[in-house]
Chain A
C-alpha cells in the first residue's frame, strides 16, 4: 500500500525471524495484510495453547527501554483545596477551574457534559437523606456539602480514638499526628484522568501494542486515597467507545460507582466524586459510629460499560486505587506492616498545605536519617528531575517515585492479566470463546509479560489482583531449582518447568502470610502455602524474602551473583473460560468434588477425623490434597523475584500470625432483615440471573420473599401483584448465590458494600447426588449398590408418595432444583402453565395482561416463581381454595426447626439441608444408603468455613464454584442505588449475567411499603428510560439533571477540549482528541 507498509513488513519479518517464525511459507497473502483471511488459521492458533507452562525464551528477561514500570505511577492531584474554595459552596455555581493547569481545562467541577454525582444537587429522590441524630430517623436534606457531611457524621468515636472522620477532610488528628485538624479542614483532591489509545511496547521484539489507557499507562495510574478526604476525578474519554468507570470495592454514590449505563460519552468528560467516607454502623448503645471494619485497603478501578466491559478491560482499562486510613497508617508507622515507617505513612502534599512540611521533615529525619530521606527532601525542595525518570512518562502528571504520598518501596500492587498477543503484529487479539470467557496465553503482570523484580531481603507486602477476564489462578511460590525452567529443545527457544508431582507441590511451596482478601484486611494474618484468586479478587499477602533468602543460602541455591531466585507460579488447570478443570469431570458433574474458591486448611480437624475413622476414603477426593482441586504438575511461571542479600533501609516489619490488623463486626442472624436468592445460570446461549437477562431499568433485588420474623402480608385491595421490598439502607440482608450448573465458575461481585461469607455449600441437587425430589438422585444412586427403586421405597417404607412421585410436568421445562413444595404442588395442581392460565381465572383469580402473557409462553423458572409468589399474595381463602397449605403441612413442620429468617425463604436452599431433613425424618428407614455416602454428605455439610480465612474477612467478590451455594450477608449503607451486582467473568457480565439493586430508606420492617420494582426514574441513566426510545422517540435519552438549574452546558463547541486530532482515530461526528500536552500543576 505504501512505503510505510513495506517498512512494517520488513520490521515484522525481522522480529518474526527472531522468534523463529517462518513467515515466507504462506505466500503473499500475509505480506499484504497480517489479518488477511488466508491468515486466519494462524490467528486462531494463538487462542489455543494447551501447553500453558511452556513460555517463550524471552520470559523473565528485563525489558529494557519500556516506559512500563512494574509498579504503576501514582497520579498527582492537579489541585488540593477546600470544597468551599473549589465550588463556591455550590458546585454548579462554581467558577473555579481546578484542572486549569492540566491541559488548560477551564471547566469548573460539575460543569462537564456529564456533570457530577447527581446526589450532590439534592434533587434525587431517596438519594439525599439526612440522619436526624435526635429523632434517630432519616429525612430529606438540603444539598449542601455540610448536609452531606452531616449525613454520615458518627455520633461517637470508637475504641481507636480516631475522631470525627465523618467530618470529611478533618483527618489525621490522631495522637501521633501533630497537625491540627482545622488546618486541613475539608480538603478535596482533584485529579484528571484522560483515556486515550496508546501504542506501548510490551514485548521488546514485537511491534508496539495498541492499548486503551488511562493516562497512557497500562495498568492505569494508581490512586492513593486517604479515608475521610474526598476526591473529584475528571475522567475524559478520548476513546471510540463509551465508558463507565467502576471503582471496584469503593463505597460510592451510584453516579460515581460506574453503573453500567452511566456513561462518559466519546469526547466528553464526567466528574466522579468519591467521598471516601467510611459507612456508619450502630453500636451496642444504639449510637452510630464509623465502621472501621469497612475501611478499604486495596481497591481497583476498571471499565464497566454496558455489554462492552470485557473488551474494554481486555484492552487495558484497569488500575489500582489504594486507600489509607488511620488504622492502616498506624500499622505502617509502627513498623508492623512493611514500609518505611513514618515516611510510608506521610503525605507531603497535605503537610505542605498545612504549612507543616519543614517540621514534619525534621521529625522524620530524626526517625530515619538514611540517605533516602535527604534525597527525597532535596528533590522536593529543588524540584530536580528524578534520576529514575523514564522516557514516556509525564512526571508533571505523576509523582516521582520518592515524592509519592505513603511512598512504600516494600509494598507492591501487582495485577495479573492474561492476553493473546500476536507476535507478528504485536497486537492483542480478542475472542470471547462463545461468551464463556477470554483466556490468554501471555501473562502480564502490571502490563509486563513475565517480569523479573529485584527485591531486598526483608518482608514485602504484595497486593495481588486477578484482573483477567476469565482466568482463575492458584498461586504458589517456588524456588528456582524446584521450578527448574529449562529449554524445551524446540527451535523457537521456548522454556518449560520441571514436572512436579502433586504430592511434592505443597511441600515445595514457600510459606507466606495472607493478611486480606479483596478490599479489606483480615482481623489477623493466616499462614498459607498457596492462594486461590478468582477474577477481580485481591489477595493481600506478606512475603518474608529474608526467610526465603536464608533458606536458599542454606540449601546452596544462590545464583552466580549471590542472589536467591524464586518464582510465583500458577498451578490452576484451566483451558477455557468455563473455569478450572482438574478433578472436575468434563461436564463438571462429578459429585465428589467440592470446589472451594478459597483455602481450606489441611489440618481441618473434622476432615482429619473423618479420614481417620474411615468415614471418608481419601480416594473419593482424588489424588490432590483434600478439598483442593487438582493442580498442574508443570506450573505456569508468572513472575521472578530476585532477592539480594541487602536488607534495604529501615527495620523489617514485625507482622506475624498473632498481629491484630483490623476489627470486623460480624452480621449475626438477628441483624438479617431479609433473605433473597439469586441463581446464576446459562440460558439461551447467554447468561441469566433468576432466569432473567439484565435490564438496566429495573431493580432486581426487590421481590420480597420475607422480612424479619414474619411472612410478608400484602395490603388488602391489591391481591394479585407480588409484593416488593427493596434493600433498606442501614439494614443487613442475607443473599444466597446459587450456581445454576454446567461447570462454570461465577465470581459474584456486589457493588457498594463488602459482604461476609456465612455459608458455602455443595449443591447436592445440582450435582445429581440428591435428586429433584429430595432423595438420592442419579449420581447418588450410581454410587450405591442395592438401593431399591423409588416405587419400592414407597411401598416398603411408606414414604410420602408426593415427595417421591414423579413430576407430571416435563422436567426439562422447569427448574427442578427449586422448591420441593413447589414441585409437589404444581405437579399435582396443574399439568402445564397453559392450564394454569385458564384455571386461575376460572377459580376467580383475575390475571393481568402481563401475567397472562408470561403464562402464555413456555414454562420457565420466571413464570414458575411468579406463580409461587402469587400464592403468597393471595388471601387465605384463595389459598385454601387452591389447596396449597394442606399440601404444605409436612414441609412447614420441618422448616420450623430452622432459624426464623430461613423460613421466610420458604424453600430449602440447598440439597444438603433438604437431604438432612429427609434423613432426619426417615433416616432409619433409608437403610439402603451406604454409610460412606451419608458420611460425605454430613461431613461436607459441616465443613463450613470455620477454618477458612474467607470466613473472617469481608469480600466484594464471592466465587461460586460449579454446583455450589454461597450465603453472604451485607449491610446496605449511605448510598441509594441503582447499583449492580454481577458475575465478574466479564464475558458473562456482558452477556447479561447482572442485576441491579437499589437500597432505599423507606423499606424498614416497621413501614413496609410497596416499592416500585423499577429503578428510581430520577436515578436512571439519562433521566429517562433510554430503552424506551423505540416506542417513544421523543424521549430523548440525555440527562436533564446535567443542566440542572439551567447552568450553561459546556459543550465541546464552546469549550473544546484542547489539543489536536488523533489522525487515525478521526471521526467527524464524535470528536476524539488526544489529551493535551500537560503543564505542571
Chain B
C-alpha cells in the first residue's frame, strides 16, 4: 500500500536515482509479535521510519532512548499517523528473542499492535550474522573495534528518514525532546505543515501574521 496516497511515483525515462536506503541490508527480521519482514523491502521502501539500536538488559542509554521514543510517539502519530514506523533493532539478538522484546516493548506501551491512530513501533530481532550486517549497513558502528564490539557502549542515535523523498538524518537521543522532534517532523513529514509547522492558514492566500 502506498502510505503517501497523494504521491504517485512518476514515470521515469532514466533508471530511478539511487537512494540512501539502497545500502540498507535486506535481511530477515522478526518483530515482538512474531511477524517476519524483509528489512529493506517491507520496512524501508516507500516508508518513513525511525530506527534505533537497543538491547533489553541495557542499563545505559537504551531505557532513556526508549522513553524518549515513547514520549514522542504520541505527537508523532498525531502529526503523521500510520505513515511513520519506529524500528528498534536489538543488537543482542541471542538474548532478545521475541518474548523478551515483547516484554520490553510492553514497558514502553508497544506490547500490543498499535491502533489505527498510532504509529507502529516494532522491536526487531535478526540472526547474529544478519544483525551485524544490518547494523553496519545502517551506520550504527564505531571505527574503534574495541568500542564497536562492546554493546554497552553502543551509540544512542536515532536514524530517521523518509524513503519516498530520500531524506535521511540522524540525531543523538540525549537532547531535549524538542530538539529531536524538530528534525523528525522536518525529515519525515510531507507537507510544510508537517515539516515546519506552517499551518494551512499560513499557506493560504491570507497574509500571515
Segment at the B interface, from A405-413, A429-437, A507-515, A747-755: A429-437
Assess whether B140 is in contact with A434, with CB atoms less than 8 Å apart. yes
CB distance from A425 to the nearest CB of B (A): 6
- Write out the residue numbers on chain A whose beta carbons fall within 8 Å of the beta carbon of B6: 1068-1069
Does any Cβ of A come within 8 Å of B129's Cβ? Answer: no
Interface residues of B in 74-122 (CB under 8 A from A): 75
When chains A and B are docked, how far (Å) is the Cα of A69 from the Cα of B40? 39
Interface residues of B in 15-38 (CB under 8 A from A): 15-20, 22-23, 25-26
* CA A1033 to CA B16, docked complex, whole Å: 37
Given contacts A1037-B198, A1070-B191, whether A432 and B182 have CB atoms under 8 Å apart is no
> Given A265-B192, A991-B170, A1043-B208, do A1027 and B181 touch, yes or no (CB 8 Å)?
yes
**Known contacts A5-B15, A429-B18; is-contact A1029 B207 (Cβ 8 Å):** no
Which chain B residues border A576 with CB–CB below 8 Å?
143
| B75 smallest CB distance to A (angstroms) | 6
Name which residue of chain A comes closest to B25, CB basis.
A40
Q: How far is the CB of B174 from chain A (nearest CB, A)?
A: 6
In the complex, which of the residues B137, B179, B207 contacts A1049, with contact meaning CB atoms closer than 8 Å?
B207
Residue A619 at the chain B interface, CB threshold 8 Å: no
B67 at the interface (CB under 8 A from A): no
A40 and B18 CA atoms in complex are apart in Å by: 12
Picked from A5, A40, A306, A1038, the residue with its CB within 8 Å of the CB of B23 is A40
Complex CA–CA separation, A1033 to B15 (angstroms): 41
Partner of A1067, one of B7, B14, B16, B155: B7
In the complex, chain B residues whose CB is within 8 Å of the CB of A431: 23, 139
A1038 engages B202 (CB within 8 Å): yes
| A-facing residues in B148-175 (Cβ within 8 Å) | 154-157, 165-175
The digit string for A1024-1050, where 1 denotes a CB below 8 A from any CB of B, is 011111110101111010110011110
CB-nearest residue of chain A relative to B53?
A: A685
Quick one: closest A residue to B198, CB to CB? A1038
Main secondary structure of the interface of A (DSSP, over half): loop
What are 25 A-B contacts defined by CB distance under 8 Å? A8-B14, A33-B15, A199-B14, A240-B166, A306-B183, A308-B169, A422-B18, A427-B17, A434-B139, A434-B140, A435-B157, A436-B143, A587-B144, A686-B155, A693-B179, A742-B144, A1029-B181, A1029-B197, A1048-B207, A1051-B204, A1066-B10, A1067-B190, A1069-B192, A1070-B190, A1070-B192
**Contact pick for B171, options A199, A307, A1067, CB 8 Å:** A307
A238 within 8 A of B: no
Residue of B14, B198, B204 most packed against chain A (CB within 10 A): B14
Query: Judging by beta carbons under 8 Å apart, are B139 and A432 in contact?
Result: yes
B175 CB contacts on chain A under 8 angstroms: 693, 695, 992
A211 to chain B: closest CB distance in Å? 11
Q: How many chain B residues touch A (Cβ–Cβ < 8 Å)?
A: 69
The complex places the Cα of A1066 from the Cα of B12 at a distance, in Å, of: 11
Question: Which residues of B have CB within 8 Å of A652?
Answer: none
With a CB–CB cut-off of 8 A, which chain B residues contact A1037? 196-198
Complex contacts, B16 vs chain A, CB 8 Å? 33, 35
CA distance A1035 to B186 in the complex (A): 16
Closest A residue to B194 using CB positions = A1069
> Interface of B with A (CB < 8 Å)?
6-8, 10-20, 22-23, 25-26, 40-41, 61, 72, 75, 137, 139-144, 154-157, 165-179, 181-183, 185-186, 190-192, 195-199, 202-205, 207-209
Chain A 1-29 interface residues, beta-carbon cutoff 8 Å to B: 2, 4-5, 8
- Add 18 more A-B contacts to A33-B15, A307-B183, A1027-B182 (CB < 8 A): A4-B14, A5-B15, A35-B18, A43-B22, A436-B143, A683-B172, A685-B156, A685-B172, A693-B172, A693-B174, A693-B179, A1029-B197, A1030-B177, A1030-B181, A1036-B198, A1051-B205, A1069-B191, A1070-B192
Would you call A684 an interface residue if the criterion is a C-beta within 8 Å of the partner chain's C-beta atoms? Answer: yes
Distance between B117 CB and nearest chain A CB, rounded to angstroms: 17
Of the candidates B14, B75, B144, the one whose C-beta lies within 8 Å of that of A1030 is B75
Q: Is the CB of A1036 within 8 A of B205?
A: no
A260 to chain B: closest CB distance in Å?
A: 11
Q: Which of chain B's residues has its CB closest to A1062's CB?
A: B10
Interfacial chain B residues near A811, Cβ < 8 Å: none
A1070 (CB) vs chain B CBs: closest residue: B192
Contacts of B8 in A (CB 8 A): 1066
| Contact call B15/A425, Cβ cutoff below 8 A | yes
A473 CB–B CB distance under 8 Å: no
Is A434's CB under 8 angstroms from B141's CB? Answer: yes
Interface bracket on A: 35 or more
Minimum distance in angstroms from A573 CB to a CB of chain B: 16
Contact partners of B165 in chain A: CB under 8 A: 240, 1067
Residue in A40, A199, A578, A1046 whose Cβ sees the most chain B Cβ within 10 Å: A40
Q: Are B157 and A686 in contact (CB under 8 A)?
A: yes
Which residue from A207, A210, A686, A1049 sits with its C-beta under 8 Å from B172? A686
B25→A1031 contact, CB < 8 A: no
Q: Is the CB of B196 within 8 A of A1026?
A: yes
- State whether A1036 and B199 are in contact (beta carbons under 8 Å apart), knowing that A4-B13, A685-B172 are contacts in the complex: yes
Most chain B CB within 10 A, of A37, A685, A990, is at A685
The answer to the question of A241 belonging to the interface, with a C-beta cut-off of 8 Å to chain B, is yes
In the complex, the chain A residue whose C-beta lies closest to that of B136 is A434
Q: Chain B: which residue is nearest A588 at the CB level? A: B144
**Chain B positions within 8 Å of A37 at CB level:** 25-26, 40-41
In the assembled complex, which residues on chain A have CB atoms less than 8 Å from the CB atom of B10?
A: 1063-1064, 1066
| Docked CA distance A434–B145 (Å) | 13
Given contacts A434-B142, A435-B139, contact A1036 B197 (CB under 8 A): yes
Contact flags A411-448 to B (C-beta < 8 A → 1, else 0): 00000000000100101111111111000000000000
Given A43-B23, A307-B183, A1038-B198, A1068 and B7 contact (CB-CB distance below 8 Å): yes
Closest-CB distance, B187 to chain A (whole angstroms): 8
Is there an interface contact between B18 and A1025, defined as CB atoms closer than 8 Å?
Answer: no
CA distance A685 to B51 in the complex (A): 14
B192 shortest CB reach to chain A, Å? 6
Tell me which residues from 377 to 407 in chain A have a Cβ below 8 Å from any Cβ of chain B.
Answer: none
Tell me which residues across on chain A come within 8 A of B198, comparing CB atoms.
1036-1038
How far, in Å, is B46 (CB) from chain A's closest CB? 14
Cα–Cα, bound, A427→B16 (Å): 10
CB neighbours of B167 from chain A (8 A): 240-241, 308
The 6 closest A-B pairs by CB, nearest first: A685-B155, A1027-B178, A37-B26, A1037-B197, A1069-B191, A686-B172
Decide yes or no: A34 and B143 within 8 Å by CB, A991-B170, A992-B172 being known contacts: no
**Chain B residues with Cβ under 8 A from A1067's Cβ?**
7, 165, 190
The reply to whether B178 and A1025 form a contact with Cβ atoms under 8 Å apart is: yes
The contact string, 1 if C-beta is below 8 Å from chain B, for chain A 1054-1071, is: 100000000110111110
List residues of chain A with CB within 8 A of the CB of B203.
1051
CB-CB under 8 A from A265, the residues of chain B are 192, 196
Return A98 CB to nearest CB of chain B, in Å: 23
Are B22 and A684 in touch, CB under 8 angstroms?
Answer: no
The reply to whether the CB of A242 lies closer than 8 angstroms to some CB of chain B is: yes
A1053 within 8 A of B: yes
* Closest residue on chain A to residue B202 by CB atoms: A1038
Complex Cα gap A288–B176 (Å): 44
Are B18 and A8 in contact (CB-based, < 8 A)?
Answer: no
Q: Which residues of A contact B177 (CB under 8 A)?
A: 1030
Chain A residues lying within 8 Å of B191, measured Cβ to Cβ, are: 1069-1070
Q: Which residues of A contact B209 (CB under 8 A)?
A: 1040, 1043
Q: Closest CB of chain A to B1's CB: distance in Å?
A: 18
Q: Report A-chain residues with C-beta under 8 Å of the C-beta of B22.
A: 35, 40, 43, 429
Q: Please give, as numbers and ranges, the residues of chain B lying within 8 Å of A33 by CB-CB distance.
A: 15-16
**Which of chain A's residues has its CB closest to B17's CB?**
A210
Cβ contact within 8 Å between B169 and A990: yes
Contacts of A1048 in B (CB 8 A): 207
Q: List chain B residues, Cβ under 8 A from A1053.
A: 204-205
Chain A, Cβ-Cβ closest to B65: A684
Q: Tell me whether B23 and A44 are in contact (CB under 8 A).
A: yes
Q: Are A991 and B178 in contact (CB under 8 A)?
A: no
If A240-B165, A686-B172 touch, does A207 touch B14 (CB 8 Å cutoff)?
Answer: yes
